[in-house]
Chains A and B, each alone.
Chain A
Amino acid sequence: MKPFDFVQPRTVDEALAAWEPGAAWLGGGTNLVDLMKTGAVQPAKLIDITRLPGLDTIETRADGATRIGALVSNADLADDPGFARSFPMVAEALLSGASGQLRNVATVAGNIMQSPRDAFYRELDPPSDPLSGGASLAVLGTGGRFAAVNPSDFAVPLVALDAVVEVRGPGGAREIALADLHLPPGDAPGNSTALRPGELILALRLPAAAAGFAAHSRYLKVRDRTSFAFATASAAASLRIEGGRIAEARLALGAVAPRPWRVAEAEALLAGRAIDADLFAEAAEVALSGAVAVGGNGWKIELARRTAARALAMAAAGTPARMPALPASPFAPQAGDLIHA
């Protein structure tokens, strides 16, 4: 690891003033310290933001709109009973990610800002074929370039629910839709976001409408082993069902694109229709229609298609009373004791 300066500011103003080119924010460090060990990232200065006051609370307004401080840990958010009741698939996604130890430390801001897992980003001397191993290669949203998938589970349901990121920086405060946070790949397969130099994430927000899906929401993650592995494909599916029909649908896919991948076309197709397995297959087909296999990962397209259809069927069956439903395996029986169905 390269030596670096270390500061631990006590206010947001102090933190913003400490930023300079080459500096990096340190949240839980579970991604950044890992990358610093390989030398893939070499900050000249670490600004430890974990002592900043007021960024570790979850606030819920009467209408259900929720604001999550940037420093809330992945574990604390998933375990907050009110939050899990209103946004069950977000809790399910959080608990499907990483391990108990990592979730205790990982912050929500660090999670959505985490780097892609491909060796190209993680090692100082990437393999000569940097983007080998199709599991981490994007099949959607690449604009014909090589790109690694965004690895975050948490960001997938968040993007389906129209989450917004609150930031502050040298230019003042602003908001960025989570859907616009991760930029399309440029010439280098780097990890670029819409954050400007020196901007700090202060909170994530979910709008009131997002809580309207609580009764029919699931996050389904498929991976190489049952637990403690990144997704090979995942889907967040939410339905608002009225009188046996789908009034409104949300669908986002994970581990297929350089960003959490919301599929508006599939959502439009589902709206107003009756619940039906063929309909879910059709929506999943639409969701993957533009996908292009890279590096032999055609299997990912088929896997994502089936994962999307399955997640929609699970959402239609209803949010289980106890979340997350276990075992966290796509082979588990679909229905348990359903509270809402």
Chain B
Amino acid sequence: MSLSIRLTINGAPRDIALEDARVTLLDLLRERLALPGTKKGCDRGQCGACTVIVNGKRVNSCLTLAATLDGAQVTTIEGLATGDRLHPVQEAFIEQDGFQCGYCTPGQIMSAVGLIAEGRAGDDPERIREGMSGNICRCAAYHGITLAVQEATRRMAEAEKGDAA
């Protein structure tokens, strides 16, 4: 069976022929589209390493069948920076030491971008921890991660205020 889908990945349209409906979005990105920034931790929805943004929402790409996504907009860690300018969440992770080995980091950053867009947590550390609980960090960099999300939330809110003024 062959299925063809069209995805917009990090702003670029891609026509993709799937020979098999079993392919997950995670495997498609890593194995077929040369975008290995998205990581595979558990492959079961339990760790968040594979988090990407689909149609504006953070999702686990390991549990998403690519065949279901025809027409979708996908943003991965590779699509976050603008040229050499890092995204505010990326900057905050560096400044606040939000990682050690870095394996979970792309997923943490994409999840934080999704969480901030949801507007659920604000800069309350308790709500940030709850909102980020779908991302496990084997190095336990949680303290820095929480500070980074808090910092990025504040900066993005300020930038928005500045834009509006």
Contact = CB atoms under 8 A, between A and B. Distances in A.
Interface stretch (B16-24, B73-81, B89-97, B157-165): B16-24
Given A8-B68, A29-B63, A29-B68, A227 B130 contact: yes
Interface stretch (A98-106, A161-169, A202-210, A313-321): A98-106
Contact of B134 (A29, A99, A326): A99
A34 interface: yes
Contacts of A8: 67-68, 70
Tell which of A4, A5, A50, A101 has the most Cβ of chain B within 10 Å: A101
B130 A326 contact: yes
B106 interface: no
Contacts of A26: 65, 68
Given A4-B22, A34-B44, A326-B126, A105 B60 contact: yes
A176 interface: no
B51 A101 contact: yes
A3 B22 contact: yes
A297 interface: no
B44 A37 contact: yes
A46 to B, nearest CB: 7
Interface in A68-102: 75, 79, 98-102
A138 B158 CA distance: 51
A33 B129 contact: no
Interface in A179-210: none
Contact of A6 (B21, B24, B44): B21
Contacts of B64: 29, 33, 105
B85 to A, nearest CB: 26
Contacts of A30: 45, 60, 63
12 contacts: A30-B60, A30-B63, A33-B64, A98-B45, A98-B134, A100-B111, A102-B45, A102-B60, A105-B57, A105-B60, A227-B133, A326-B127
Contacts of A1: 22
Contacts of A46: 21, 65
B68 A104 contact: no
Contact of A99 (B22, B65, B133): B133
A99 B48 contact: yes
Contact of A100 (B1, B115, B124): B115
A50 to B, nearest CB: 6
Contacts of A28: 63
Chain A residues touching B, range: 20 to 34
A30 B59 CA distance: 10
A1 to B, nearest CB: 5
Contacts of B60: 30, 101-102, 105
A33 B130 CA distance: 25
Interface in B30-58: 43-45, 48, 51, 57-58
A243 interface: no
A8 B58 CA distance: 23
A326 B132 CA distance: 14
A196 B1 CA distance: 29
A98 to B, nearest CB: 7
Given A6-B21, A8-B68, A226-B133, 18 more contacts: A5-B1, A29-B63, A30-B63, A33-B65, A34-B45, A46-B65, A100-B111, A100-B115, A100-B120, A101-B45, A101-B51, A101-B58, A101-B60, A101-B111, A101-B134, A105-B60, A326-B126, A327-B130
A322 B98 CA distance: 29
Interface in A31-86: 33-34, 37, 46, 48, 50, 75, 79
Contacts of B118: 75, 79, 100
Which residue of A79, A100, A328 has the most chain B CB atoms within 10 A of its CB atom? Answer: A100
Taking each of B1, B51, B63, B135, which has the highest tally of chain A beta carbons within 10 Å of its own beta carbon?
Answer: B63
Given A26-B68, A30-B45, A48-B68, A105 B130 contact: no
Contacts of B63: 28-30, 33-34, 102, 105
A143 B52 CA distance: 44
B98 to A, nearest CB: 17
Interface string A1-27: 101111010000000000000000010
B156 interface: no
